[in-house]
Chains A and B, each alone.
Chain A
């Protein structure tokens, strides 16, 4: 894996995770509302728009990453984002990392290493 490929991969992981965290923050802040009120409340939260902005960046970063690796490799390495997002969910939103989640994380991480460096 070339240096540029590695950097773009890391950037993809960071921006995707940040975007998910921003949306989660926007959604949980508005959780006490429901239906249209929920959406109206969320659209007023700055976290929502930060999330949108991050995903616009992610869109471009993903395209750049795809220019450098085969599509099959790209989606497999992209699966690693799940791992980072779950760890971030534990750190920021106190989401529990139960037995099955930990096993799943380990398997995905292992698979990513095999695809990326095998």
Chain B
């Protein structure tokens, strides 16, 4: 079962990263940015945008499969930890730089995501299920 989770989370991070990298390639190829149809045509005329669709669809099905068995907290964290993988890939493929604000800010964000994920564990949730099941 543990291998299922690890494979699932890695797939999720892979598909999310693929989607973001595809978006970046698409936006680069569509430059210059302009609020007109020509820009849209450039976006959808280039193959990379379809990488984004593949990424989104793959992520959707991976998420749905994970949701059947995986605890929602770690799954939630995994879906946002693409932050780390996307940043690293960006440094590799797009000549991005790891500046100090980015590293510190990134670590703060990841810490925040882990706190949110911790909230979704069953122990933490028992306190608030009463609130959530009442009709609003």
Contacts and interface: CB of A to CB of B under 8 A. Distances in A.
B40 interface: yes
B15 to A, nearest CB: 14
Contact of B109 (A64, A67, A112): A112
Chain B residues touching A, range:
35 or more
A65 to B, nearest CB: 8
Contacts of B108: 107-108, 110-111, 114
Contact of A108 (B20, B32, B112): B112
B2 to A, nearest CB: 25
Given A63-B43, A114-B108, A68 B24 contact: no
Interface string B46-84: 000000000000000000000000000000000010110
Dominant secondary structure of chain B at its interface with chain A: helix
Interface string B21-32: 101101110111
Nearest to B118: A100
A107 B109 CA distance: 6
Given A62-B23, A70-B94, A71-B24, A94 B113 contact: no
B23 A118 contact: no
Given A72-B86, A72-B90, A82-B116, A94 B136 contact: yes
Interface of B: 20-21, 23-24, 26-28, 30-33, 40, 43, 80, 82-83, 86-87, 89-91, 94, 96-102, 104-116, 118-119, 124, 127-128, 131-132, 134, 136
- State the 7 A-B residue pairs at the shortest beta-carbon distance, nearest first: A118-B101, A111-B108, A107-B112, A115-B105, A104-B115, A114-B105, A108-B112
